[in-house]
Amino acid sequence: MRILPPLLLLLLPVSIAVADPSISHEEKIKKHLQPYLDAEIFNAVSIGVIHRDRTWIGHFGKLSDEQPSPPNGRSIYEIGSVSKVFTGLLLANAVQSGQLKLDQPIASLMKELRETNQQVGQSITLLHLATHNSGLPRMPDNWNPADINNPYADYRREQLTAFMANVKPANKPNEATLYSNVGFGLLGDLLSAKSGTSYEQVLKQTVSGPLHMRDTTITLDEGQRRRVAPPHNLALQRENMWEFDALVGAGGIRSTVPDMLKFIKANLQPPDTELGKAIDLAWQQHVAPRGGQFAMGLGWHLARDGSTRWHNGQTGGYHSAVFISRPLKSGVVVLSNTATGQVDRLAESIIQILAGMDVRPPDFDEGKKIDIKTMKRLVGKYTLFPNFVLTVSLQGDRLIVQATNQPALRVYPESETRWKYREVEAEIRFELPDQGPAESLTLHQNGRQIRGPRAKD
């Protein structure tokens, strides 16, 4: 549900001369966006910006081939792992109201842990879950979706409880920051159990209701379903919406740009209410950066500039990104109905434009042209480690690579055998014989070279 960090890692100054002050931010954003539209990086994209006392919203692209009109302010998107920011805020509100404590062991809220895995239940706190410092893995080992196109729908509380009863974390709590979907899913489940109602009801009572975010929800009514921006995968092909059960707190929220701007505004200027105090508590840095990982608030990542908060998210057919800077008095939300990490790149560029940086529009040169017959020879599954496989597929004329439990990403050709990512600093090199399918590939990333043989058909 969550993608790799934004490309430029947000080395943001909070004050810098504008390259051309005669051009408005809106014009710069549109100019920067145009290459994405020309290259058909996504179908529809909705952008919301708050900069000081001004708000701007723009909707671009087309909803789908069947619905060639652009999105609008009522278009609903899945926001994926941006949901974690809301889950962190729900925890902050429960702490602010005296219902819970950040250092409270999770066993105090989960009797099954007290009976079956007491050491884990007593050592992991709510703060550990909300900052990815619990030592829990990215995904539970008993996650085996019946429908890979809707992978979280059938993961119930019974499975989550069974996983926690036997889990042995990779690290002791607070030893390392390890991104964990199951950790945030568990946190949402515990908050729901504490309130005696569903996660969705807690969300509405605590955040979306008070902030009048009427389209920020889990379950869509009939009218909202008609306003959904149809989901698409990286190859711009139709995808399924995702449903969530026990792990809803990790990625199950849907929203609109106008609603998300209300959320951004509340984070820039918290109201003088209990919710406002909770927003500030979630905003605080609770874990310092370490091991190459970002510092953490409750759900929020802190950028390298030390002040900007951000989060991104992806489901099967959507991608979202939110950036908020209090020193700049600015916030950006980008929602797309295409599952591409290029949304992160766009959103980060927009917040940099608001900071006064001279950001060049991207160049989406498609690179060398490779014939379809050769590309078909690269398709297959390549095992880098026993539990880590790169699945290479051909979608239209695009080569797509998906790592185990990670979103699919497009790669671009430098030659018939050398293909580069754009979302991350990495490339893949295939071992291609004179005839027949590729025999192996080698992943080049972070100075490492990891070879994986192709699985036999």
Instruction: Tell me if residue 154 falls in helix, strand or coil.
Output: coil
- Rounded CA gap, 263 and 248, in Å? 19
Share of the chain above pLDDT 70, in %: 95
CB 28, CB 353: distance < 8 Å: yes
Q: Check pLDDT > 60 for residue 239.
A: yes
Residue pointed to by tokens 């071992």: 431
The pLDDT assigned to 23 comes to 60
- Rounded CA gap, 31 and 409, in Å? 25
- Rounded CA gap, 86 and 395, in Å? 34
The pLDDT assigned to 1 comes to 60
CB 232, CB 238: distance < 8 Å: yes
Mean confidence (pLDDT) of the chain: 92
Q: What is the pTM of this model?
A: 0.86
The pLDDT confidence band at residue 3, using thresholds 50, 70 and 90, is very low
40 or 3, greater pLDDT = 40
The pLDDT confidence band at residue 17, using thresholds 50, 70 and 90, is very low
The pLDDT assigned to 7 comes to 36
CB 147, CB 155: distance < 8 Å: no
- Tens of pLDDT, residue by residue over 79-110, are 999 999 999 999 999 999 999 999 999 999 99
Per-residue tokens: 178: 């390890």
The pLDDT assigned to 333 comes to 98
* Phi, psi dihedral angles at 70 (to 5 degrees): -75, 165
CB 172, CB 263: distance < 8 Å: no
The pLDDT confidence band at residue 21, using thresholds 50, 70 and 90, is low
The pLDDT assigned to 162 comes to 96
CB 341, CB 407: distance < 8 Å: yes
Q: Is 293 exposed, middle or buried (0-12, 13-18, 19+ CB in 10 A)?
A: middle
Q: Check pLDDT > 70 for residue 26.
A: yes
Query: What integer is the mean pLDDT of 333-350?
Result: 95
234 or 31, greater pLDDT = 31
- Rounded CA gap, 415 and 427, in Å? 12
The pLDDT assigned to 365 comes to 74
- Tens of pLDDT, residue by residue over 406-437, are 778 889 999 999 999 887 889 999 999 999 99
The pLDDT confidence band at residue 24, using thresholds 50, 70 and 90, is confident
Query: What integer is the mean pLDDT of 327-356?
Result: 95
Closest CA to 313 of 407, 394, 237, 377: 407
- Rounded CA gap, 443 and 45, in Å? 31
The pLDDT assigned to 10 comes to 46
CB 186, CB 160: distance < 8 Å: yes
The pLDDT confidence band at residue 16, using thresholds 50, 70 and 90, is very low
Q: Check pLDDT > 80 for residue 271.
A: yes
